[in-house]
Amino acid sequence: MLVYSVKQALSGAGVEGQELTVRGWVRTRRDSKAGLSFVHVGDGSCFAPIQVVAEQSLPNYQSEVLRLGPGCSVICTGKLVRSQGKGQSFEIQASRVEVTGFVDDPETYPIQPKAHTMEFLREVAHLRPRTNTFGAVSRVRHCIAQAIHRFFHEQGFFWVNTPIITASDCEGAGQMFRVSTLDLANLARGADGKIDFQQDFFGKEAFLTVSGQLAVEAYCLALSKVYTFGPTFRAENSNTPRHLAEFWMVEPEIAFADLHDDADLAEAFLKYVFRAVLDEREDDMKFFVERVDKGAIERLEKFVDAAFARVDYGQAVKLLEQSGKKFEFPVAWGMDLQTEHERFLTEQHFKCPVVVMNYPEQIKAFYMRLNDDERTVAAMDVLAPGIGEIIGGSQREERLDVLDRRMAAHELSPASYQWYRDLRRYGTVPHAGFGLGLERLVVYVCGLSNIRDAIPYPRTPGNAEF
């Protein structure tokens, strides 16, 4: 017997009138006393379930088919026919319905054919992929991840797998999770009474990575166009709809490139990914428009058609000051832009995605290239309507003397950065890159309101269930 996915069966391609088998989980069952039941079966291959028409004449109709409800797993075989009813193109006229798993206690099975709150579904993260919403989010997330790899591959980038465990605590992007095999109840201590990390697994302190950027820069200065794409960890006690302790980050890095090349890359990248979602996941996006966020598709369509605006940080501050708008937080040169400022620029002033460039050096990281004015660095934020910052990037400081000065100003010891400094000693070139959180992109594309719904099992302060 030919086994088809629900997606293949619903397309009807070349198999109309033939016997085939689909396998999946029951969404709903409706009975007709005329002697048949309609069982909607989904297998996650696409948004829609397929309707299986089960007649009374099936040997297990009374004993099993009538006990089917949401969550039961089934293997259904039958002829694929055009539906007599409305609402679906094809359906399966079942000749056999094999139940592989009933639901223990249907009354307490959490996934019911009704609207659940996202908060409740987070408590049942192992069952929420069976809902319309999380099935759709999962497929869109996959589509985005594949589009990211495809975009870079087509542009001649190489995917570099930078380490998850890092023994340098100098990535400089926030609080880190410690990785250790020391016995916490009986810590090894040196003569000075401090913990003796020489006895730890790596012979020194080790942490989970907060960014692959510094490591990928080394590969950039050999392979020219590279990117990292992997899990990233931040031990910050941030409890917001935008933060996770474990998330996936994309960080491209290009050699012989300046900030404008970086902005060009970011624009082409985002448009490619959004177009892929519009092309490949129309079914899921239509659902988001219906039930999650009316503007989900329109937002992406506008985005891929818009030319990004580019504005200097200094100009942006002036625009905000002259806007006449009352902001909750004041605007002044030297301060970072708040979300409300970013949203004003992109939603009300420019009405399109905006790249803000050249921020004051004191509010940005040490590795960003100092501009000729000596007070700004070649940093950029890509702001998107409806969310604010979506990408942050910069041209990197390629001049060793300037880098050393910047490190001293940030009170970083050159000794811990020898290998990073080497990249400026041996054949340095201008280079640039940016960072993008995958989950934030998923939130933006799907119109979700909490990042915990953009990853299968969210890790946040006080929560590492499942």
Which one-letter amino acid corresponds to residue 110? P
Cβ distance to RNA smaller for residue 197 or 355:
355
Query: What tokens does 255 get?
Result: 């050699």
Cβ distance to RNA smaller for residue 388 or 430:
388
Shortest distance (Å) from residue 206 CB to RNA: 20
Q: In this structure, are residues 253 and 216 in contact, taking their beta carbons and an 8 Å threshold?
A: yes
Shortest distance (Å) from residue 436 CB to RNA: 5
| Other Cβ atoms closer than 10 A to 434 | 24
Q: Tell me which stretch binds RNA (CB under 7 A): 16-24, 31-39, 156-164, 402-410.
A: 31-39
Verify binding: residue 245, RNA, rule CB under 7 A: yes
**Closest to 138 in 3D by CA, of 43, 203, 34:** 43
Q: Restricting to residues 111-140, which ones interact with RNA according to CB under 7 A?
A: 112-117, 119-120, 122
Relative to beta strand 225-233, strand 158-159 is parallel
Q: Restricting to residues 45-74, which ones interact with RNA according to CB under 7 A?
A: 51, 53, 67, 69-70
Shortest distance (Å) from residue 204 CB to RNA: 25
Buried b / exposed e over 3-24, threshold 16 CB at 10 Å, is ebbbbbbbeeeebeeeebbbbb
CA distance 176 to 169: 8
Q: Tell me which stretch binds RNA (CB under 7 A): 83-91, 150-158, 368-376, 415-423.
A: 83-91
Q: Which residues pair with 81 in a beta bridge?
A: 91
Verify binding: residue 25, RNA, rule CB under 7 A: no
Q: In this structure, are residues 26 and 41 in contact, taking their beta carbons and an 8 Å threshold?
A: yes
Verify binding: residue 106, RNA, rule CB under 7 A: yes
Out of 136, 226, 249, 300, point to the residue binding RNA (CB under 7 A).
Answer: 249
Out of 15, 20, 167, 173, point to the residue binding RNA (CB under 7 A).
Answer: 173
Verify binding: residue 293, RNA, rule CB under 7 A: no
Q: Restricting to residues 205-234, which ones interact with RNA according to CB under 7 A?
A: 211, 234
Verify binding: residue 199, RNA, rule CB under 7 A: no
Q: Which residues pair with 22 in a beta bridge?
A: 76
Start-end of H helices in 187-243: 213-223
Q: Restricting to residues 316-355, which ones interact with RNA according to CB under 7 A?
A: 329, 336, 338-340
Verify binding: residue 238, RNA, rule CB under 7 A: yes
Query: What tokens does 183 get?
Result: 């016995």
